[in-house]
Structure 1
Amino acid sequence: MAKQLNVEVVAVESKVWSGDASAVYARTTEGELGVLAGHQPMLGELRIDSQVRVQPIEGPELAWNIEGGFLSVTPDGVTILAETAEAVAPTAA
């Protein structure tokens, strides 16, 4: 079985999504970031007017337009704390 991340996407008003994923992609103030299982712990500030993408273990990629916040990577997983998070409709492949 492939390694996986426990991911939570949380906006100020509510929990947006939680589950297991193979990867998380986000744009921080320092640049684009991809997180896979085993990533070193870190804290990053998310760019205003950017997008966070999560590749769940099962199912299509999920994406949210966000308005700033933070991304935290720990040995337990990844937490996205966003000011706002609006779901992006999946695109046809």
Structure 2
Amino acid sequence: MAGLNVSVVSAEQRVWEGSASQVIARTVDGEIGILRGHQPMLAILAEGEIRVTTDGGEKITVDAAGGFLSVDHDNVTIVAGTASIAAAA
């Protein structure tokens, strides 16, 4: 079973793209988790982390500020004003 098709981009670059089992992002209305089969939606991003769990179980953290998140038919598109992969702890 295929997962979510995720694309994270900023004004300057494509930050991360791939297949994921889960995406968690901070919106102006609070934190939201996206799984396969999520209802279509559009949300405004707040400054903070976007956490992606790939289909292989890898955890990707993206620091992002501004922009929006769109979900439609298991496609998650995140367009941020600024975004970059967070350094590993």
TM class, shorter-length: over 0.9
SS for the counterpart of 2:37 is coil
TM-score (norm 2): 0.92
Greater share of strand residues, 1 or 2? 2
Moved >4 Å (runs of 4+): none
Aligned alpha-carbon RMSD (Å): 1.3
**Where does the alignment leave 5 or more consecutive residues of structure 1 unmatched?**
none
Structure 2 stretches lacking a partner, 5+ long: none
Determine if contact 1:62/1:90 at 8 Å carries over to the other structure: no
Aligned to 2:49: 51
**2:78 alignment partner, one of 80, 85, 88:** 80
SS in structure 2 of the partner of residue 72 of structure 1? strand
Using the size of structure 1 for normalisation, the TM-score is 0.89
Name the counterpart of 1:71: 69
Aligned pairs, number: 89
Question: What is the identity percentage for the equivalent residue pairs of Structure 1 and Structure 2?
Answer: 49
